[in-house]
Amino acid sequence: MNIRFLETFVWLAKLRSFRLTAEKLHTTQASVSNRIASLEQDFGVKMFNRTSLGVSLTPEGARALTYAERILKLSQQMERDVADNAVVKGTIRIGVIETIVHSLLPTFLARIHQLYPKILIELTSDTSIHLSEQLVKGNLDVSFQSIPATGEDIQSEALCLFPMRWVASPLLGIGEERLEVLDLCRYPIISFPRNSVPHDKLTRLLANVDAEDVHLNSIASVAAMIRLTLDGFGISVLPPAVITQELAERKLQVLEVSTPFPDLTLFATYRGAPAHPIAASAVSLARQVAREFSAEHGPEVARIPDQAVAGPLAADR
């Protein structure tokens, strides 16, 4: 039984389109059709109903799908356990939010390159919402983001927690006094972009404050947020994980605020079967990097979720 033919069968069952399956597998529609025809001939049954609207599984095809997914998972596990990582080739498509770029990503990429020196990495940095969409469409293999993705055969697990803190430049002269949220509203507030988890939590927090003319500036780039905060344009809510150097050099200071800001949970999201051969290994490496980052910087910068929280989730950025 040809593993590639089974992979084609599984993807066609999920995408229900010869064209989309061909694009996903970087082949032609004729090749997809030939592989399916070969499987149907081997089993002596019709796997798909074909109509002008697409394809759908026959009852026999639905039964075969369960076995095909099991065989693919077992094949991928065998490759991971037996194959020489030094000769594993291909491209893995990884999505990350910018918070990850400024914290865990450099070490994570170095570990991937060390373990799989011939694997090419195709990296996409975007918002969690857009990354989730690309993962569901099959355009990403793994994504690290601030919401769990939802979709058929999509798995999500909590990777780590980043505390969020109000920070400012010493140029503002706010000092070390304990502040109320109302006190912060005297300054321009630099926020993550709209529809992001931090922005949503910030707007809910400010909704409870009786303050007129709150200047809330939504910035799409974490690097730009840091730069503007350093220059004294305003104050911001950032994870210390992305400004460890600026805090160490006292170019930024953490403000003592009476109302704590909720932590930011980061998730590893990835496809189930048929998954990329090293997707599970990539997530495992990310967990290791997150544990080491947390141990190095302490709980004020990063924490590992409880085991009950860290397991696979049904779905939610």
**pLDDT tens column, 67-125:** 888 888 887 766 666 555 555 668 889 999 999 999 999 999 998 888 888 889 999 99
217 lies in the same domain as 245? yes
**pLDDT tens column, 201-258:** 999 888 877 767 788 899 989 999 999 999 999 999 999 999 999 999 999 999 999 9
56 lies in the same domain as 197? no
pTM of the shown model = 0.70
78 lies in the same domain as 89? no
Q: Where are the extended beta strands (E) located within 101-225?
A: 119-125, 142-145, 154-162, 165-168, 189-191, 216-218
Q: Shortest CA distance to 235 belongs to which of 263, 212, 206?
A: 206
145 lies in the same domain as 9? no
Question: Is residue 202 included in any domain, yes or no?
Answer: yes
169 lies in the same domain as 245? yes
Q: Are 196 and 172 in contact (CB under 8 A)?
A: no
Question: Is residue 259 included in any domain, yes or no?
Answer: no
Length of the chain (residues): 317
198 lies in the same domain as 247? yes
User: How many Cα atoms are found within 13 Å in the side-chain-facing hemisphere of 190?
Assistant: 25
User: How many Cα atoms are found within 13 Å in the side-chain-facing hemisphere of 113?
Assistant: 8
61 lies in the same domain as 20? yes
Q: Are 3 and 72 in contact (CB under 8 A)?
A: yes
Question: Is residue 99 included in any domain, yes or no?
Answer: yes
Q: How high is the pLDDT of residue 314?
A: 33
Residues 6+ apart with CB under 8 A from 17: 54, 55
pLDDT over 60 (residue 308): no
The more confident residue out of 9 and 82 is 9
Q: Shortest CA distance to 229 belongs to which of 175, 182, 167, 187?
A: 167
> Quick one: which H or E segment has residue 101?
helix 98-101
Question: Is residue 236 included in any domain, yes or no?
Answer: yes
CA dist., res. 249 & res. 193, Å (int)? 27
Q: Are 247 and 226 in contact (CB under 8 A)?
A: no
188 lies in the same domain as 233? yes
Question: Is residue 260 included in any domain, yes or no?
Answer: no
Structural domain of 65:
3-82
The first and second tokens of residue 14, run together, are 């999920």
CA 289 and chain centroid, separation: 15
Q: How high is the pLDDT of residue 1?
A: 65
Question: Is residue 292 included in any domain, yes or no?
Answer: yes
249 lies in the same domain as 273? no
Q: Are 148 and 269 in contact (CB under 8 A)?
A: yes
Residue 42 sits in a domain whose CATH number is 1.10.10.10
Residue 154 sits in a domain whose CATH number is 3.40.190.10
Domain termination site, one of 47, 82, 117? 82
The more confident residue out of 98 and 312 is 98
Mean pLDDT of 171-197: 89
Tokens 């400010």 locate to: 206
**pLDDT tens column, 19-40:** 888 888 878 888 889 889 988 9
245 lies in the same domain as 170? yes
288 lies in the same domain as 153? yes
Domain termination site, one of 254, 274, 295? 254
Q: Shortest CA distance to 253 belongs to which of 198, 191, 177, 161?
A: 177
Mean pLDDT of 138-150: 91
Residues 6+ apart with CB under 8 A from 305: 158, 159, 160, 161, 265
Question: Is residue 220 included in any domain, yes or no?
Answer: yes
Our count of domains for the chain comes to: 3
138 lies in the same domain as 18? no
Domain termination site, one of 232, 254, 276? 254
Question: Is residue 299 included in any domain, yes or no?
Answer: yes
